[in-house]
Structure 1
Amino acid sequence: MARLLDPSNPSHLAEAVDALAAGRLVAFPTETVYGLGADAGNDAAVAGIYAAKGRPADHPLIVHVPNAAAALALVSALPPMARKLMDAFWPGPVTVIVPRREGLATAAAGGQATIGLRCPAHPVAHQLLEACARRGLVGLAAPSANLFGRISPTTAQHVAHEFGDDVLVLDGGPCQVGIESTIIDCSREHPVLLRPGTLPRARLEAVLGEPLRERDEAAPRASGTLAAHYAPRAKLRLMDARTLQSALDVLGDARPPVAVYSRTVRVPRGLVHRRMPDDAERAAHELFAVLRELDAQGVSLIWVETPPDAPEWDGVRDRLVRAAAA
């Protein structure tokens, strides 16, 4: 099992920085999910992330930086729309896709001419990134710290269950946000939403001063945008309330190995059930932890009630749609 480090212990934090500087992997908390980090300027170290996760090497990673000034070292030019987002939301759960400086972070970018950059708000992540910057690291490439395509981790224990002894984990407690950052492509003429998060679309558009475009075929590849992702071992089926209620009503006494995550339906006694919060922010916070908990019950099916069709639920709905496609 992976070794957990206490970030409040200076020697443990120093051990994590030493490991990253030596080209090893270290998992660390952000406000969204835990990331599996490596020195973004070391292509061999970044290759270790792809190998550990079983992730395709052309599927780019997000590079985490301690501040906007550090981001400038990785870009060939910073588009004004990216600067607006950085000024408004960094540190925070927004990733900007921008033109990459040639010769830097090639592996982390999946070979593309663009790169995704984010400044996380978690104090442990900030402390780690600042310490790495003092050692000369340009940033930490860090996708979610789980096997590729599976449920993202929101606690250090989730990470420890996924990886072996070679991965150090800075334990910063449960993640506050619970789903990954919003990703906005700023590398073209107009901003394009590649992945929703928890920030309201209207708030993002107000900062940008223009509408967000929808993802198209010309968009750069980006983390978490594959059709199938975030999946438990059990088959997840997403259903509207009426369809889910009908499916539950016909179960009878057979009690198949089904778990249910729902807001409004009547769930028969004897089934594993967790109630989805009515508030989108709370639902995002607990989503991945609940899916892991239900999966751990040994069920073969997880039936989930489709979240409300409202903008604040876009991030949660996106994750569930992709989990159901796996």
Structure 2
Amino acid sequence: MNKETLIIQSEDKEGLKKAAEILKKGGLVAIPTETVYGLGANALDEDAAKNIFKAKGRPQDNPLIVHISDIDQLKDLVSEIPEGAYVLMEKFWPGPLTLIMKKSDKISDVITAGLDTVAIRMPSHPVAREIIELANLPIAAPSANISGRPSPTDASHVIEDLVGRVDAIVDGGRTGVGVESTVVDISSGIPTILRPGGITEEDLLVVFPRVDIDPALKGEDENLTPKSPGQKYKHYSPNAKIKIIKGELFSMINRINHLYREYTNQGLKVGILATEQSRWSYSCDNLIVVGDRGRPETIATNLFDSLREFDKMKVDMILAEGIEEIGIGKAIMNRMEKAAGFDVENL
């Protein structure tokens, strides 16, 4: 691919109109959302959707999320709206929550990877909403990165991965949440989390007495038919191998220091992904402080950017501290474990 990629600043109103026109004509536009940047195409245009997979190098059996700006758009996209979906939409839309519902005939199997369900969300980012409204179309948009790479939380990440592959990139600076949306299957019975994100299990339990967690979240299954993006394949990965150490903080520090010496003695260039609470506990030239354990949302915001920074350092191995899996901590550890290919040492 060797497209001429237009870079549009998010405050450029004429530029946003141009982005919407590109989408109407079947083109690809990367747009900022409150979670990560998305690579958008007309969700009702099968050829445009196919081009998303080509630009990203994305496996065809990995479904896409459709983004809308108005509830009224749902009627063209789903065949039925469960009662529970209305409750979730009322409380969490617009926002980082994706709902799985039975699809309508207007949605191509390319979008859903052949499933009879479709993933839909209404982003809260004003630029994303404005572009969707200007295009007057539902927009299919996975993360705007090369498939398998850390998701883009800054326009520079999108430019690094997709210039020459897409028609336009809308530069909205850094995103907020930093990890992709929570995906909840509401298509049958009990709400089930297929991918944790900014809306936490605890948030959902305020609305429903019971919320299930999809067992696929805790391991790789090559025979899995993914119902949600991020379920089947290794994702979010930098070039280096990642090993996660989980346990009590002091024990983690000791183990990481031991492994750092061991790998360094083998001639490997090693990076350490630390937190504010441990930053002075390591003697490492390639140390990145990802955030504060007491405010895990800071870790979520910085995680993917930190993984990309390790690529710039050209490290061979990353030793990463695990964090407590409460609230958004579940989403953070989900992304870290996927990036590490589930190489996790529990102390």
Match status 1:223 vs 2:229: yes
**Contact conserved, 1:255 with 1:270, CA < 8 A, in 2?**
no
Matches of 1:312 and 1:8, distance apart in 2: 30
**Contact conserved, 1:3 with 1:160, CA < 8 A, in 2?**
no
Q: Deviations over 1:239-280 (max 9, x none)?
A: 131432321355677874111111337211433333532211
Structure 1 gaps of 5+ residues are none
Matches of 1:168 and 1:158, distance apart in 2: 14
Matches of 1:162 and 1:219, distance apart in 2: 27
Residue 154 of structure 1 is matched in structure 2 by: 153
Instruction: Read off the aligned partner of 2:54 and give its amino acid letter.
Output: A
Per the normalisation by structure 1, the TM-score is: 0.92
**Contact conserved, 2:77 with 2:106, CA < 8 A, in 1?**
no
**Contact conserved, 1:31 with 1:93, CA < 8 A, in 2?**
yes
Residue 20 of structure 1 is matched in structure 2 by: 23
Instruction: Read off the aligned partner of 2:241 and give its amino acid letter.
Output: K
Matches within 5 A, 1:107-256: 107-133=110-136, 137=137, 139-165=138-164, 166-207=166-207, 209-216=208-215, 221-240=227-246, 241=252, 242-250=254-262, 256=268
**Structure 1 pair 17/273, CA: closer, same or farther in 2 (3 Å)?**
closer
Match status 1:101 vs 2:107: no
Out of 99-108 and 276-285, give the one that drifted further.
99-108
Match status 1:9 vs 2:12: yes
Identity of aligned residues (%): 34
Per the normalisation by structure 2, the TM-score is: 0.87
**Structure 1 pair 312/164, CA: closer, same or farther in 2 (3 Å)?**
closer
**Contact conserved, 1:114 with 1:220, CA < 8 A, in 2?**
no
Q: Deviations over 1:28-72 (max 9, x none)?
A: 000000000000000000000011111111210000000222123
Match status 1:259 vs 2:271: yes
1:306 aligned residue (322, 331, 339): 322
Match status 1:82 vs 2:85: yes
Matches of 2:35 and 2:20, distance apart in 1: 21
Matches of 1:106 and 1:275, distance apart in 2: 39
Structure 2 gaps of 5+ residues are 217-223, 247-251, 343-347
Matches of 2:140 and 2:70, distance apart in 1: 15
Shift of 1:219: 8.0
Matches of 2:260 and 2:226, distance apart in 1: 41
